[in-house]
């Protein structure tokens, strides 16, 4: 029987804390432009969330370039520098195992835009208005 997908409410506090620490380290590396990559230096990248596996050996890092431009190019550049990020995170956090990092695009902004556009639809707005 498969386990249900872990929601933020069901994940342990330790997973959330370590994920937040990894997010801070990666954000700091990108902000200070410590990664010697022209594509990453030319873009502002937001690290929105890091989800750790229960054994803390894998980290899914969700990123979004500023204004959502060149997302595929930025993801390719991040993925080509994974070894640097893994080494930097392992050096700063002093965990038992160095987490294997996987960069993924953050789709939550796109979903929020879709919901906003649905709510702005005149048919939906009509249904949301209170009866006078």
CA–CA gap between residue 70 and residue 92 (Å, rounded): 29
Residue 88's nearest CA partner among 7, 131, 25 is 25
Burial of 52 (0-12, 13-18, 19+ CB in 10 A): buried
This prediction has a pTM of 0.74
Q: Is the pLDDT of residue 1 over 70?
A: no
CA–CA gap between residue 21 and residue 23 (Å, rounded): 5
Three-class DSSP category at 92: helix
At residue 132 the predicted structure's pLDDT band, cuts being 50, 70 and 90, is very low
Q: Which residue carries 């022209």 as its tokens?
A: 38
Q: What are the pLDDT digits (tens) for 25-76?
A: 999 998 888 888 888 888 888 898 999 999 889 999 999 888 767 888 889 9
Q: Which residue carries 């987490």 as its tokens?
A: 99
What is the residue extent of each domain of the chain?
13-106
Q: Is the pLDDT of residue 128 over 80?
A: no
Give percent of the chain with pLDDT exceeding 90. Answer: 27
What CATH architecture applies to the domain 13-106?
2-Layer Sandwich (3.30)
The mean of the pLDDT values for the chain is 82
Per-residue pLDDT, 83: 92
């Amino acid at each position: 029987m498969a386990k249900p997908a872990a929601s933020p409410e069901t994940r342990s506090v330790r997973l959330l804390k370590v994920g937040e620490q990894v997010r801070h380290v990666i954000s700091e590396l990108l902000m200070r432009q410590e990664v010697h990559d022209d594509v990453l230096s030319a873009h502002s990248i937001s690290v929105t969330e890091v989800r750790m596996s229960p054994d803390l050996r894998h980290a899914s890092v969700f990123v979004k370039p500023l204004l959502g431009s060149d997302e595929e190019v930025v993801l390719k550049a991040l993925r080509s520098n994974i070894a640097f990020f893994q080494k930097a995170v392992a050096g700063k956090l002093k965990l038992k195992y160095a987490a294997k990092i996987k960069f993924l695009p953050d789709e939550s902004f796109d979903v929020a835009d879709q919901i906003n556009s649905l709510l702005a639809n005149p048919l939906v707005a009509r249904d949301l208005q209170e009866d006078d």
